[in-house]
Structure formats: C-alpha cells, structure tokens
Amino acid sequence: MKKRIITGLIMLLVAVPIIYFGGYTFATVVLLIALMSYKEMLDLKKNYGKIPNLMKVLGAISMLIFLYNDKGFGISYTQITYQRMIAALLLTVLPVLFYKDNKYTAKQAFYLFGVAFFLGLGFNLFINVRNASLPIFVFLVSIATFNDIFALLGGRLIGKHKLMPTVSPKKTIEGSIVGGVFGMAISLLIYHFYCGRPIDFRTVICVLILCVASQIGDLVFSKFKRECEVKDYSNIFPGHGGMLDRLDSLFFVIMTFMLLISNL
C-alpha cells in the first residue's frame, strides 16, 4: 500500500504540469503512452500467439492513423473518417495473404486491427478533449480517479460481497458503491466550481452514467487480463502495474462522455 501511494504521488507530480500546458507537449506524451499501451496489449500473447515484427510495426502505424487527425495531434474535435479506417484495415488484414504456414493469421490480423482502433480512438479523444477544455478534461479524470481511490478504500474497509469474482476477485459491491458515491460527489463539485457549470438533474444523471462507465472500464480491462492469466499489463509503476492498469477507467469515461457531450 505504501509503495502504491508513493508511486501515485510521483505520477501526479509528473502528470499535472503536462496536462496543464496541453498542446503539443501533452499530445507528444500521449503518443508515447499510446505506444507503451500498444506494446502492453501485444504482450498478452495468449490471445493471439506470436505476431511477426513487421506486422507489429504496421499495427502501430494503424494506431497512429487513428490517433492523428488532419490538423495533427488533434487540436480540435475531429471524426475518424472511412478513409482512415480502411487504410488501417488494409495495413493489418491484407498481409495475411503473403505469410505462409500460418505465421500471420486472420485471428491475429483482426486482433491487431482491434487493438489499433481501440487505442487510437481512445488516445485521440484524450488529446481532443484536453485541447478543447482543460476544466472538462480534469473533470473527467476526477471521475475515474476518485472512483478508483474510494472503491479501493471502501473495499478494504467494509467490502464483504464480491462484485465479479471471476473477473476481478478483489473488487466488492460495497467498494463499488463507495467509489461511485464519492466519485460522483467530488466530480460534481469540480464540475460546478472549476468548470463553472450549473448542476441540475440532467447533469447528475450524466455524471452517474460516467461513474458507472468508469467502473465498467476497470472490469473490462480486468477481463482481458484474466483471459490471459496475468495480474497486470506490465510493471512500469510499482504497486500500480502498467499504463493500461492506470488508464482503463478513464478510457471508458471519455468514450462515454463523447456519447453524452450534447447533454453536459
């Protein structure tokens, strides 16, 4: 627990100025994080076997096709076009024709495309939302962060009933409720006082949905790990695991936010 707290404080000290300055500084850091996350997903070899090195490179290029946009590093909101999706699909799927002896299979191709699309879309949204509004980005980060913190504390203090033991054995129903309550309360305060937005019934419902999305994201990424029989995506952060262990909830919060954006 002590190691986890120290690592968390160091990550906070590093992340705050990067998020604050935004722009190309933030976008460059997100690019590096995306590449590290891509490696973590490909290290889950039980899902697909060994992918040829050339295809790993083409998969990374496919991810960058989604991560970048026409203005470079997502200075404004942008859509991922059909052209981008087709280009990435061809890069990852077409080469199955040229590999012999099942050295690169259809299963591997579609896994690679899925990883490139999922990570590229998620990190593209990170950049776009931050560059559109620092307060909104902080608000979204607070939902994921405080849900995680208080779910962990609630589970340790009063957790008795397992939430989804086959997916994440340590998570409890009590911890989930505590995380949701405090995550909602703190993020609503940030939304009102830092973002300068009024709180009404519609806002409360939207934040509730985002809190649920945060916990679902955590469970979905845990499911990936369970299937591959690993505890963490990597050991970059002592006590915390890898990049995707820290960003799992935020991925789903930001994606859900894009579905609700007209209501906030």
Burial degree of 36 (CB within 10 A; 0-12, 13-18, 19+): middle
| Mean local confidence (pLDDT), 34-62 | 91
230 pLDDT more than 90: no
Per-residue model confidence (pLDDT) at position 170: 85
| Mean local confidence (pLDDT), 176-184 | 95
Per-residue model confidence (pLDDT) at position 212: 96
Burial degree of 7 (CB within 10 A; 0-12, 13-18, 19+): middle
Cα(175)–Cα(183) distance, rounded to whole angstroms?
Answer: 12
| Mean local confidence (pLDDT), 226-247 | 84
Cα(73)–Cα(124) distance, rounded to whole angstroms?
Answer: 8
31 pLDDT more than 60: yes
Domain ranges of the chain: 1-132, 133-264
Q: Identify the three-state secondary structure at position 248.
A: helix
Average pLDDT, the chain: 88
76 pLDDT more than 80: no
Count of beta carbons in the 10 Å neighbourhood of residue 218? 25
Q: Are the beta carbons of 78 and 135 closer than 8 angstroms? A: no
In the chain, the amino acid numbered 169 is P
Closest C-alpha to 137, from 257, 263, 13, 249: 257
Helix (H) or strand (E) holding 171: strand 168-172
180 pLDDT more than 60: yes
Per-residue model confidence (pLDDT) at position 78: 54
Distance of CA 155 to the CA centre of its chain: 22
Q: State the pTM of this model.
A: 0.90
Task: Name residue 168's beta-bridge partners.
Answer: 164
Chain position carrying tokens 């909830």:
249
| pLDDT band of 4, cuts 50, 70, 90 | low
Per-residue model confidence (pLDDT) at position 98: 93
- Least confident range of 75-79, 90-94, 134-138, 204-208: 75-79
Q: Could you tell me the CA-to-CA distances from 252 to 31, 85, 174, 220, 255 in Å, in that order?
A: 19, 21, 21, 9, 5
116 pLDDT more than 60: yes
How confident is the model over 125-140, as pLDDT tens digits?
999 899 889 999 999 9
Q: SS in 3 state form for 9-39?
A: HHHHHHHHHHHHHCHHHHHHHHHHHHHHHHH
Per-residue model confidence (pLDDT) at position 74: 42
E strand residue ranges, 28-161: none
Percentage of the chain beyond pLDDT 70 is 92
Cα(25)–Cα(145) distance, rounded to whole angstroms?
Answer: 22
Per-residue model confidence (pLDDT) at position 72: 45
Per-residue model confidence (pLDDT) at position 192: 95
Q: What are the tokens at 172?
A: 């409890």
